[in-house]
Amino acid sequence: MNDFWKRFSRNRSAVLGLLILCLVIFVASIASLIYPGDPFLYSQYPLSKPGENGFLLGSDSIGRDVASGIAHGAKTSLLIGLIATFAAVLIGVIFGALAGYYGGLVDDVLMRVTEVFQTIPSFIFAILLVAIIKPSIESVVIAITVVSWPAVARLVRGEFLALKNREFVQACHTLGMGDYRIMLKEMLPNCLSPIIVIGSLMVATAILIESGLAFLGLGDPNVMSWGFQISDGRSMLRVAWWICTFPGIAILITVLAINLVGEGLNDALNPRLRERN
């Protein structure tokens, strides 16, 4: 662990990213404490400039607090990012592991299925899915999962293909270990590092997809999110710049931070890079 942290901290920007990410998580977790009310609550002070009428980052056209929206939106964004990524990694690992381990017909079938999903541009596919199922937080998570898992599946399949003829796996076979035990206990731990890296980057993508969907009006209208704030304020950009600027900055630095952390994890976990420097 110490060793891992040493390698991770060698990447200065990754540490910075981690700090920012911790800050975002902190804000999200205390959102209900600092802004106890509903972030959708209107007020009698519409379009207040930042600092006016007690609104730190201004208010929108029906007087909702932009700062409160960002704090509560952080929770939404992170939650969607994590859940969707977890689900995508789970599905991807199962598909990839089975395909890579068994090969042959299983591989063919599973990979053709994966390719079907991969040939459709992911964002457009996500729009389609959310439009078919009604826009809600669940449908957004489902859409992000559906468009994200194929990448994991291909990665895990590749890793499993490389591992399955290695000596330690063959040794397991001769010892009479079952297939699932070999896959789960022996092979999966050996390809965990690339999965962690792709997963961390996927959280960032998921947040972007969620914001994009909300921006296009396909978010859950009952849940405050950064994308919703931007789409709500976009038509007023020339009159009230603060409504969409601050949520935009929040998306930018959060996604940047997660990407930096992902890079750092890649550096720390990739054995081929271990000898660098």
Partner 1 sequence: MKITKFMNAVMMTAAITFGGGAVYAQQSGGSLVFLVQPEPPTMAGYVSTSGPIGLLGPKIYDGLFDYDNDGKMIPVLAESVDMSEDGKTVTFNLRKGVTWHDGEPFTSADVQFTIMDVLKKVHPRGPNSFKEVSSIDTPDAHTVVLNLDNPAPYMLRALSAYESPMVPKHLLEGEDIKSAKLANNPVGTGPFKFTEWKKGQYIRLDKNESYWKEGRPYIDRIVGRFIPDASTRASAMEKGEVLYAAYNAVSNVEAVRLNKEKDNISITTDGYSMINPMALIEFNTKEGPFTDAVVRRAISTAIDRQFMLDTIFFGYGNPATSALSSNFAATGLHAKMPHYPANGDVAAANKMLDDAGYKKDSDGVRMKAMFDLIPYGEDWKRGGQYIQQVLGEIGIQVELRYEDVPTWLKRIYHNYDFEMNLNYFYQLADPVLGVHRHYGTNMIRKGTHFVNSSRYSNAGLDALLGAGMKEPNAESRSAIYLEIQNILARDMPVVNLFELEFLTVYNTKLKGAYGSAMGAYSSFGDAYLEE
Q: How far is the CB of 235 from partner 1 (least distance, A)?
A: 5
CB of 63 to partner 1, least distance (A): 7
Show contacts with partner 1 in window 6-25 (CB under 8 A).
none
Q: Which of 13, 16, 20, 40 binds partner 1 (CB under 8 A)?
A: 40
| Residues 183-222 within binding reach of partner 1 (CB under 8 A) | 217, 221-222
Tokens of 149: 């898992």
Exposure letters 211-236 (e unless 16+ CB within 10 A, then b): bbbbbbebbbeebbbbbbbbbbbeee
Q: Taking CB under 8 A as the criterion, which residues in 134-173 touch partner 1?
A: 134-135
Closer CB to partner 1, 49 or 234, in the complex: 234
Count of residues binding partner 1 (CB under 8 A)?
23
**Does position 232 bind partner 1 by CB under 8 A?**
yes
* Cβ contact 57:67 at 8 Å: yes
Three-class DSSP category at 50? coil
C-beta atoms surrounding 256 within 10 Å: 16
| Residue 140, CB-side half-sphere exposure with 13 Å CA sphere | 31
Q: Which residue has the tokens 């991969």?
A: 118
**From the CB of 68, what's the least distance to partner 1, in Å?**
13
Write down the least CB distance from residue 135 to partner 1, Å. Answer: 6
Compute the distance between CA of residue 128 and CA of residue 135 in angstroms, rounded to an integer: 11
- Applying CB under 8 A, the residues found at the interface with partner 1 are 38, 40-42, 44, 46, 61-63, 131, 134-135, 217, 221-222, 231-232, 234-239
